[in-house]
Amino acid sequence: MKIFSFLRHHKINFVIALVLLCIQANLELAVPGVMSNIVDIGIARGGIVGEAPVGATASELARIQTDYILGQGAHMLVLTLLSVACSILAAYNASKTSAAIGREVRHALYERVLSYSPAEMEKFSSASLITRATNDIQQIQMITVMCLRIVLFAPCMGVGAVVRVLSTPTGMEWILVVAICIIAIAIGILMGLTMPKFRRMQGLVDRNNLIAREILTGIMPIRAFGRQEHERARYDEANRELTGTYIFTNRAMAFLGPVMMIVMNATTVAIVWFGGLGVDAGTIEVGTLMAYINYVMQVIMSFMILTMISVMLPRAGVAAERVLEVLDTTTSIAEPAPEHAVTRADGAGWRGEIAFSDVTFAYPDADMPTLEHIDFSVAPGQTLGIIGSTGSGKSTLVQLIPRLYDVASGRVTLDGVDVCNIPLTELRAQVGYVPQRRFLFSGTIESNIKYGNDRMDDERMERAARIAQATDFIEAKPDGYRSAIAQGGSNVSGGQNQRLQIARALAIDPKVLVFDDSFSALDYKTDATLRAELGRSCRDAAVIIVAQRIATIMHADEIVVLDDGRMVGKGTHEELLRTCPAYLEIARSQLSAAELGLDDDGHADTPATPVLDQKGGER
């Protein structure tokens, strides 16, 4: 079973557990034998083993009996104390091993998830990953304790008890065989009923967490549209389905308890009945019958323990499969092979020239490419603007630069080196990427700006904040840069959030700055001031700006226009107004003809250089 694969690094602990439990089982199995001696010899025979001493007085015989019973009692007490000691050591070993496995698996899972590209993150939802990292690993820890403590003990006890039963010929072995067969049938039926439900249960837990997360994160639009009742009904439906599955599995598990009790009590009655007949006939002694009943009960208890574990194992097995699914999924963004890797960390460093050469990209399992035949370059000190309609592939394009995705064909290069041949850590250290989705980490303003390098000095941090136009609102706060930031940046406005993200990217002094619609929450004045400051302070960096507003990119050195994943225009603002209908349409929807410098007929006055038409060729 896959769950036991987590024990492969703890073989010594497994051996220790096995040795301790074998010793404990043998000690506990010795107790009924001592008890049998007390009854058959200590009581029935007066403690006399063999021939009675000749001429012994009544007081001497009483002393012999008392000494024998006390000696056997002390023997039983020693066996019990040793058994308790082994049990405590085994429990400690199991708990320690379980905690270590949980720590290792959780660490490995988080490490693997951190290496995932967006493609792998889309395969597993955030809610599912959270469930796997918490609930599923807890299931693995719990079953590990059970395995090292109970699952190993039950077979040791059961096998030992069966050996004792078979070595005590009473003619009642058939009773034990019948009891075991009934228990095995009950376990088989239970496993057949519950295994599919346990598999479904974990998926329902994921769905429950997903809906709960959506409701909590989307509480504002839910209230704005008055959809509280709809969301409540949606969650109730998912919760009822999960509850129904829990109830079914719990009822199935509860059914097993009475069955086991009936089997155990019926077995006891049968042994007492047939054993009593043997005692009456003189073929079995009372102490032997008592020991036999204890051995049979230990066999049945071993099966009861295994039955209880067999109910828990399916769910833990599903949890282990889900965790292993994450651990076995490798990222599609691999580090370059050592023989192909290009590094300049210890040399002259990178300049920051980015070039796309006939780049085509398609998402996994997509029927059509998202980007086709993209060609452009941007040198250090230049600014490239990217604009296009919603869904045209703008964000996807810039995500290819830090290798969040890999191209399907063509090349993305940094200073002429394919980004696939640059170590990921080194590549991403050269790129200051501000994603479209705003996100700040819980902590302080300082920790967020210094996120890329927590050892940077305060001067660099403050310079980044100044360029990002964040200084005013930071210094207005009582605690300044040590002001608290809530998870996701929920305690700052959208514009403040964006400026802090821009400062975070600027603080690492990157060679390439990528802004993915990162000025959308800024007012026009702050937008213009920030871009002007970028031009003055980041003259050695290549700047790529994705924007929806013409005003944000109209002064860029070059603008790329995307439509349905293809370049339909490339040039300056003035050139594109004259030669690119798609760009002209976007521009006229946002600015007046006077602001765009167009004549009464909607045409620019300046001559144009050839740019790409709608099919990507020269006009």
pTM of the model: 0.70
Q: Identify whether residues 308 and 456 lie together within a single domain.
A: no
Check whether residue 464 and residue 359 sit in a common domain.
no
Question: What CATH number corresponds to the domain at position 541?
Answer: 3.40.50.300
pLDDT at position 188: 80
Rg value, the chain, Cα: 38
**Shared-domain flag, residues 355 and 380:** yes
Q: What percentage of the chain carries pLDDT values higher than 70?
A: 93
My answer on whether 469 and 386 are in the same domain is no
Residue 88 clears pLDDT 70, i.e. is over it: yes
Q: Tell me what pLDDT residue 603 has.
A: 59
The three-class DSSP label of residue 130 is helix
Model pLDDT, residue 402:
92
Residues 273 and 404 in one domain: no
- What pLDDT does 615 receive? 37
Residue, of 614 and 301, whose pLDDT is higher: 301
Task: Identify any residues that bridge with 374 across adjacent strands, giving them in sequence order.
Answer: 359
Which run of H or E residues covers position 62? helix 58-114
Give 53 or 99, the one with higher predicted confidence. 99
Give the CATH number, domain containing residue 152: 1.20.1560.10
Query: Which of 47-51, 123-127, 233-237, 487-491 is the most confident on average?
Result: 233-237
* Residue in 405, 355, 381, 431 with CA at minimum distance from that of residue 538: 381
Sheet strands side by side (includes 512-516): 417-418, 409-414, 354-361, 371-378, 566-571, 558-563, 383-388, 542-546, 512-516, 431-434
**Using an 8 Å Cβ cutoff, are 608 and 564 in contact?**
no
Place of tokens 């073989």: 11
Q: What per-residue confidence (pLDDT) applies to 609?
A: 40
| 442-449: average pLDDT | 91
pLDDT given at position 616: 39
Same-domain status, 40 and 114: yes
Total number of domains constituting the chain: 3
> Where is average pLDDT lowest: 169-173, 346-350, 395-399, 586-590?
346-350
Q: What is the pLDDT of residue 184?
A: 80
Give the pLDDT of residue 614: 38
Q: Which of 14-23, 178-187, 367-376, 426-435 has the lowest mean pLDDT?
A: 178-187
Residue 269 sits at φ, ψ, to 5 deg, of -60, -45
- Would you say residue 3 has pLDDT above 70? no
Quick one: residue 563, left, alpha or beta (phi over 0 = left, psi -120 to 50 = alpha)?
A: beta
pLDDT of residue 546: 92
Are both 345 and 411 inside the same structural domain? yes
pLDDT of residue 248: 85
Chosen domain end from 312, 328, 344: 328
pLDDT of residue 391: 85
Res 277: pLDDT: 84
Q: Facing residues of 376 across strands?
A: 356
Whether 129 and 189 share a structural domain: yes
The mean predicted confidence, pLDDT, of the chain is 84
The range of the structural domain enclosing residue 390 comes to 336-430+516-619
Check whether 283 has a pLDDT greater than 80: no
Q: Which residue did the predictor score with more confidence, 42 or 508?
A: 508
| Burial class of 516 by CB neighbour count within 10 A (0 to 12, 13 to 18, 19+) | buried
Do 312 and 245 share a structural domain?
A: yes
- 323 and 303 share a domain? yes
Domain boundary residue among 485, 509, 533? 509
User: Are 532 and 460 in the same domain?
Assistant: no
Domain boundary residue, one of 302, 328, 354: 328
Predicted local distance difference test score (pLDDT) of residue 191: 75
Residues 272 and 366 in one domain: no
**Cα–Cα distance for residue pair 124/142, rounded to 1 Å:** 24
